[in-house]
């Protein structure tokens, strides 16, 4: 991969990381804002609980994505970015543009999804 491409993917990944981390801090802030407050109406309480569960779920998903972005940045440093971790083939640039955190080519990704589906049945 050319140096210019590496730098482009790095800036895409880093801006995604900054956006996610900023988002996480905001969620923590919002949660501490509602903590310990008395809510007399049970309907209001349910709404707050729902909102809290939602932001926890969101943060769990964000945490996983943050981990994937950090792995992708490490692969950029190691020079293995854009190579399939399963078969070693080059991942197509079109796929990398849509999902720069991916470490599987489309063939291996499809196969792993099929294996997963079979495993669940
Ligand atoms: Zn592959």
Confidence at 52, pLDDT banded by 50, 70, 90: confident
On the question of pLDDT at 27 being above 70, the answer is: no
Task: Write out pLDDT tens, residues 62-88.
Answer: 889 999 999 999 999 999 999 999 999
CA–centroid distance, residue 107 to ligand 1 (Å): 6
CA distance 15 to 12: 5
* Mean pLDDT computed over 26-45: 63
CA–centroid distance, residue 86 to ligand 1 (Å): 5
Residues, CB within 5 angstroms of ligand 1 (ion): 84, 86-87, 89, 105, 108
pLDDT at 37: 59
* Mean pLDDT computed over 111-121: 86
CA–centroid distance, residue 106 to ligand 1 (Å): 7
CA distance 120 to 44: 38
Assigned token pair, 99: 């999902």
Q: Taking the model in full, what pTM does it have?
A: 0.70
- Domains of the chain are 1-81 (1.20.120.910), 83-121 (no CATH)
């Amino acid at each position: 991969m050319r140096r210019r491409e590496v730098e482009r993917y790095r800036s895409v990944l880093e801006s995604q990381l900054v956006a996610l981390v900023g988002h996480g801090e905001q969620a923590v802030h919002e949660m501490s804002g509602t903590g310990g407050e008395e809510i007399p109406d049970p309907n209001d309480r349910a709404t707050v609980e729902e909102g809290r569960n939602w932001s926890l779920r969101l943060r769990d998903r964000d945490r996983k994505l943050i981990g994937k972005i950090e792995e992708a940045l490490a692969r950029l440093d190691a020079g293995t970015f854009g190579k399939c971790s399963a078969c070693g083939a080059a991942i197509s640039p079109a796929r990398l543009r849509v999902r720069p955190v991916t470490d599987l080519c489309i063939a291996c990704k499809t196969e792993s999804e099929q294996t997963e589906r079979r495993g669940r049945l």
